[in-house]
Amino acid sequence: MIAFVIKRLLQTAALLLVVSVLVFLGCEILPGDVAQVSLGQYATPDNVQALRIELGLDRPAYERYFDWLFGILQGDWGRSITTKTPVARMLSERLSNTALLAAVTTVVAVPLALILGLLMAVGAGRAWDRVASVVTLGLSATPEFLIATLGVLLFAVQLRWLPAVAYLSPGSDLAQTARALFLPAATLSIVVMAQIARMTRAIIGNLLTQPFIEMATLKGVPPRRVVGVHALINAVGPLANVVALNIAYLVSGVLVVETIFAYPGLARLMVDSVQARDLPVVQACAIIFCATYVLLIFLADVLAHIYDPRSNLEAADRKG
């Protein structure tokens, strides 16, 4: 168990190192370089050269990579090309907004999805399970921007209950924050819910074909208890894995949702920076998103491993 965690931890650290190299290289293959992009196409060669020296771009790439990497580790993310402000300051507020959105989505979507998946598994094969299966399959194949635009049309344009744009300023009170968060969080929740519910249904449905479930049924345990207790306990590991994977999925979901609702989060900062080709900011955002994603996948693996009866068996074998 501990050996597995340490092994996966080392793999994750190595992967993060590879990610940092790839992100750095990704911004190195740019035709021209940061100095050129920063000054625009009408800059004189002398000006570009002066800025290159000022930014340290005349040094070899590996030296700059290590400088950049150690800078990040010490909290120095460099300066934005367009706004000239330190990247770290631009990130901090945006990061908390995105974290808030992701947290609200998770708290709403995960319990609802697990309940929905369980209900589908209990009624497996019945009409409403089939309807719910098709609906959740459909929703998990639907792009976020359809759900978001329909949400805006219904709640912001037709009913006028909510704002179409999520204005969120540092001073806004709870009611304002809730109104701003509602549509973005609801959009993300629907997509995440559909996926978790589908997988829950599949995991529980799979467990229900096992002999111990048949045993419980023959013993006279009511079906609801068979699914809700006997199957559910054994599904905890795989379900925890599914939930972690879907929170990792939020990383890409927030990009689209923050753009539609003009939500002032990290994802929108990244999209804007890609358009402006503000590479230090793009690098920083990419590192944060990739690190979050990689760590969540690591968590999912560890959770699945802890609850896997076979891995416990191995441990018991070694002890005995």
Q: Which of residues 211-270 bind another protein (CB under 8 A)?
A: 248, 251-252, 255-256, 259-260, 270
String marking each residue 64-103 x if it binds another protein according to CB under 8 A: ----------------------------------------
* Helix spans in 208-278 (H): 211-219, 223-225, 232-260, 266-276
The dihedral sign for the CA sequence 153, 155, 159, 162: negative
Q: What are phi and psi of 81, to 5 degrees?
A: -75, -40
Does residue 159 bind another protein (CB under 8 A)? no
Of 242, 243, 241, 254, which is closest to residue 102 (Cα–Cα)?
A: 254
String marking each residue 22-51 x if it binds another protein according to CB under 8 A: xx--xxxxx---------------------
Does residue 279 bind another protein (CB under 8 A)? yes
Residue 43 or 297: the one with the smaller Cβ distance to another protein is: 297
* Alpha carbons 244 and 304: distance in angstroms, whole number: 10
State the angle between helix axes of 266-276 and 279-307 in degrees (0 to 180), rounded to the nearest 10: 140
Q: Which of residues 117-156 bind another protein (CB under 8 A)?
A: 124-125, 130, 133-134, 137-138, 140-146, 149-150, 152-153, 156
- Cross-strand pairs, 86: 79
Percentages (nearest 5) of helix, strand, coil residues in the chain: 80, 0, 20
The binding site for another protein (CB under 8 A) comprises 15, 18-19, 22-23, 26-30, 124-125, 130, 133-134, 137-138, 140-146, 149-150, 152-153, 156-158, 164, 201-202, 205, 248, 251-252, 255-256, 259-260, 270-271, 273-275, 277, 279, 282-283, 286, 289-290, 293-294, 297
